[in-house]
Structures are given as C-alpha cells and as structure tokens.
C-alpha cells in the first residue's frame, strides 16, 4: 500500500473559522490528541500573526512528540524567522511558506510582477532551508493560476530546497476530474517533482473538498492537508475523518494507507467540537450523531440481522461502541473517574472534585447520565476554570402579561456584580443583564440550541456567536435549564473576547 501522509491544520486554518479563539492550553490539548490520533504533521499555527499564536506554537513544539510540527509563514523574512523561533525545539520541525500565484491575487493583493513573486518564493524557501531541512512550499490559489507559471515556480522552489510542494484549491472551485488532471500535469511538467512529496490543501466552497482531494490521491498526491470536522475558512477544509475512512474503506480500489489510529477519530472530533464551540451537524459523515443511526424500518431490520446490510463502516473502527455505561446518582467517585479515563480525560484531583460535584447535581435532575453528559460536564468545568467572569446566580421572571426580567450575579477576582434587566424574553433579559454587568454591548450574530441526549430531562447545549468591537467570538454553555445554558454560552463568548 502507498503511504499517504496526513497534515492536520485544525489549529491554523481551522481556527480561522469565524468566532473560534483557542487559548494556549486548549491548543496544546488538541495537539496532544492529534498526536494520539497519529497525524504525521500538525500545523500548529501562524506565529507572526500574534503573540498568542507564537506562544501556542512554541508550547506545542516543546511538548508534543512523535509528529512533525509545522509553522506557517508568508514568503517574507520576518515571517520565516518568527516561524523558526517558534518551532526550533520541536522533535521534527517544518517551515511551511507560501505566496499567491494566481493572476488575480498577484495583481490585486500582492501588486507585484510574476518575476518578483518567483524571486520571493525562491528567497523564502532558501531562508527556511537555512533553518531546517524540512520545508514546504505552497502556491496559494494554485487552481486559478497560469499553469505555465505554476510549473515554473514549483520547479524553482524545488531547486531552492523545498521538500514538499503543496497545490491548494484555495477557493474550492475545481471539479474532481479537473483537479486530478492538474496534478497529473504537474507531475509530468515540473522539473524535480519526482524528488518531493506532492501535497494538496482543498477548500469546500462548493462542497467538493473531499472529492477533489481523492482525485489528487488517484493522481500521485501523497500528503493531504485537512482539518478535524472539516473546520476552516469560509465553508471549511477537507475533512480529515472523511478522507481517512475513504482510504481505509476503499483500499481495494485506491491501494493507499495512512498512519491514523481510526479508533481515536470520534474522541478527537468531540474534543475539537467542545473546545471550538462548533457543533458537528447530525448528518456529518463518519462523526455526525446520525452517521450510524437507523430510523427506517427496512434499514433497522437489515442492520439487526446483519450490520453490513446498511453500514459500510464498523462504528467500532472510529471509536464508537454499541453500548454505553450509564452512571446515576448512586455512582461513586471511583466509577466516575474510571469512566472519564475511558473517555480519554485525565483530570487533576481538584478538577475531578469539581466535575464530580456537577455530576451529582445533574444526576439529581436526570434519570440517566450518558457519555455525552459527562463530556459536557468536563467542558463546562474547563470553561469555568479559565473564565474572567463567573456566573454566581441567575433569576428570571416571566408571565404572559408581563415583560420578562432577569437578575444575574457575576464574580470577577472576588468582586460580585449584580444587575437586573428586562427583555423580549427570558434569554434576552438575561443577556442584557450580563451586558450591564460587564459593560459591553455585543451584537448577537447567531444563537443555536440543541439537546445533548434524548428525553425531556436532556441537557440543553447552547452555542452563541457574538461580535464585540469588530471581533467575532463563539460561546458555548450546557445546562438542563435552557436559560442558564444560554447565560453560560453568552458569558463564555464575552470571556473569550476579554481574554484576547
């Protein structure tokens, strides 16, 4: 089997999704899980963009072992120097440098000539190569570039020392057949291409990122740049879990393999979802809640008789089981800790105590506590631990002939602030009370409520996107009371803004 290298850019391109703002601890937690998943390259960030991103890339480089750590840099000296500063302590460091190559971007964004762009690319690769032998070069917007210029700049980058050549479909415009033909043409026309790895980085603007990526693999691509849950700029990137399971399931046709430990896929997907605040759509392939669910009577009958009648994937391969250990109010601390460890969470004694306390409170309200409930408890405790403002108290009043009113108490550095506000509904009143308490006026961009499990006693999972001072932030909150879940999500978004 030909080996395909998986390059994960969740922490770089994935974080460019509107509203996502991960702190250093969260990025490190995701990077450690990506290493357990078995990705070959973790693109840890874009160090020149901010001190926070530089700190996160540095922390990942120092602490995450067994995989290549890459940092992104424009074809600019200061970018490349900063990238190296961040990854120099990595076990296997890589500098990933890029420049625009399409006529439209060269003319309107770079405002340079083709010759100037070529010179910048060569200089960037040489400078990166002076730091590390592992250098990747990307031609941004390659699929809309003049192919003759593309051949020329790739050949020049290879001659300058690039070891990986990346062909991005930056705007997601290509049909699979077109993209496959482009890769074939590059292989046949670029001098030195046989000595390097060809990579692709495809976006999902027209819903074809995975399809074009597979077309690339069929024509000689051996590195795939992708993200967990397909996160990324605009409509997102190629979905790691989908590409990996296509390769795994269709080995007979593709003749390819990866180093991914597929049983870690679900755990990784859920971790990224809870830390970013981006929920996975139920019908998402491989990791969606409905991916292995059957409602049709015909489908149910077939699956009960023989799973493969309607399931081409074995759920156990991606880390799911057919049964769950159900915890309840009589469960003890040991069983609670063990179940969390089975789910992949290793908490400190203090974190465990706080999580166990919340578990007992929830167990008094629900008949059964599921794995999803436990993951929500851990996520809520993590959000609360790092919060600037903490929710101490909430009270709402509403009647059919009265304007809803909410009172909240928030604590910050030991000082409690109490505010009351009226609104169109209890959620609106609660959010307005929070605005008063923190002294901000956010603009609500989106509000979404879903149930973590089935049943009327299910925990409500609220995700909110706010715009504050021109910055978009995502917030997430979980509670059996939707009003309190909404307050937690709203406050979580505000805390993320204040942390930045």
Q: Is the pLDDT of residue 395 over 60?
A: yes
With CA atoms as reference, report the closest residue to 31 among 50, 49, 9, 13.
Answer: 9
Domain boundaries, the chain: 2-276, 297-384, 387-499
Nearest to residue 229, comparing CAs of 275, 264, 278? 278
pLDDT at residue 299, rounded to an integer: 61
* Range scoring the smallest mean pLDDT among 22-36, 131-145, 232-246, 300-314: 300-314
For the domain spanning 297-384, the CATH number is 1.10.238
Confidence at 99, pLDDT banded by 50, 70, 90: very high
For residue 423, the 8-state DSSP code is -
Is residue 28 within 8 Å of residue 64, measured between CB atoms? yes
Distance CA 174, CA 356 (A): 50
CATH code for the domain defined by 2-276: 3.20.20.70
In angstroms, the CA 3 to CA 345 distance is 31
Is a pLDDT exceeding 60 seen at residue 47? yes
Strands 402-412 and 415-422: antiparallel
Q: What's the rounded Cα separation, in Å, for the pair 195 and 288?
A: 39
Backbone angles phi, psi at 139, to 5 degrees: -95, 100
Does the pLDDT of residue 453 top 90, yes or no?
Answer: no
Cα 10–Cα 52–Cα 164 angle in degrees, nearest 5: 45
* Cross-strand partners of 436: none
Residue whose structure tokens are 């000082």: 415
How many CA atoms are closer than 13 Å to the CA of 51, on its beta-carbon side? 2
Residue 261's nearest CA partner among 36, 486, 6 is: 36
Q: Is the pLDDT of residue 179 over 70?
A: yes
Query: How many CB atoms lie under 10 A from the CB of residue 2?
Result: 11
Q: What is the DSSP letter of 76?
A: S
Q: And the tokens for 290? A: 């409905």
Output the furthest CA–CA distance in the chain (Å, rounded): 77
Of 349, 347, 334, nearest to 375 (Cα)?
347
Who has greater pLDDT, 136 or 368? 136
Cβ contact 477:457 at 8 Å:
no
Quote the pLDDT of residue 279.
87
Over range 190-208, report the average pLDDT: 97
Residues present in the chain in total = 500
Superfamily of domain 387-499 in CATH is Alpha-isopropylmalate synthase LeuA, regulatory domain (3.30.160.270)
In this predicted structure, what is the pLDDT of residue 337? Answer: 85
pTM to 2 decimal places: 0.76
């Amino acid at each position: 089997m030909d080996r395909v290298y998986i390059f994960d850019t969740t922490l770089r391109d994935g974080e460019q999704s509107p509203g996502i703002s991960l702190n250093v601890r969260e990025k490190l937690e995701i990077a450690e899980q990506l290493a357990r998943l078995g990705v070959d390259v973790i693109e840890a960030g874009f160090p020149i963009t901010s001190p926070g991103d530089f700190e996160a890339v540095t922390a990942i480089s120092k602490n995450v072992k067994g995989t290549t750590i890459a940092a992104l840099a424009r074809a600019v000296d200061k970018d490349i120097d900063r990238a190296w500063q961040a990854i120099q302590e990595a076990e296997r460091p890589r500098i990933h440098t890029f420049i625009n190559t399409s006529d439209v971007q060269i003319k309107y964004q770079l405002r340079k000539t083709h010759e100037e762009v070529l010179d910048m690319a060569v200089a960037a690769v040489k400078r990166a190569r002076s730091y590390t032998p592992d250098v990747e070069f990307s031609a941004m917007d390659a699929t809309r570039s003049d192919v003759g210029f593309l051949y020329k700049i790739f050949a020049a980058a290879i001659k300058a020392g690039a070891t990986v050549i990346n062909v991005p479909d930056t705007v997601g415009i290509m049909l699979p057949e077109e993209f496959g033909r482009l890769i074939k043409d590059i292989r046949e026309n670029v001098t030195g291409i046989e000595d390097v790895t060809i990579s692709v980085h495809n976006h999902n603007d027209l819903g074809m990122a995975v399809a074009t990526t597979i077309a690339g693999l069929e024509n000689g691509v051996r590195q795939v740049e992708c993200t967990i849950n397909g996160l990324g700029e605009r409509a997102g990137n190629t979905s790691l879990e989908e590409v990996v399971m296509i390769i795994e399931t269709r080995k007979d046709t593709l003749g390819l393999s990866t180093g991914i430990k597929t049983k870690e896929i679900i755990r990784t997907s859920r971790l990224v979802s809870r830390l970013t605040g981006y929920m996975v759509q139920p019908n998402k392939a491989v990791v969606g809640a409905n991916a292995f669910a059957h409602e049709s009577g015909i489908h149910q009958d077939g699956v009960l008789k023989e799973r493969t009648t309607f399931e081409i994937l074995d759920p156990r391969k991606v880390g799911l089981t057919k049964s769950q250990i159900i915890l309840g109010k009589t469960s003890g601390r040991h069983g609670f800790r063990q179940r969390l460890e089975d789910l992949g969470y290793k908490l400190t004694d203090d974190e465990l105590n706080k999580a166990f306390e919340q578990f007992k409170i929830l167990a008094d309200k629900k008949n059964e506590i599921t794995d999803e409930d436990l993951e929500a408890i851990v996520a809520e405790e993590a959000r609360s631990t790092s919060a600037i403002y903490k929710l101490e108290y909430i009270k709402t009043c509403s009647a059919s002939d009265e304007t809803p009113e909410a009172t909240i108490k928030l604590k910050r550095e030991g000082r409690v602030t109490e505010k009351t506000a009226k609104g169109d509904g209890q959620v609106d009143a609660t959010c307005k009370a929070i605005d008063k308490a923190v002294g901000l006026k956010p603009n609500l961009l989106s509000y979404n409520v879903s149930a973590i499990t089935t049943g009327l006693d299910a925990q409500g999972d609220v995700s909110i996107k706010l715009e504050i001072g021109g910055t978009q932030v995502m917030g997430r909150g979980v509670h059996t009371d939707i009003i309190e879940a909404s307050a937690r999500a709203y406050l979580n978004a505000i805390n993320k803004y204040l942390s930045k």
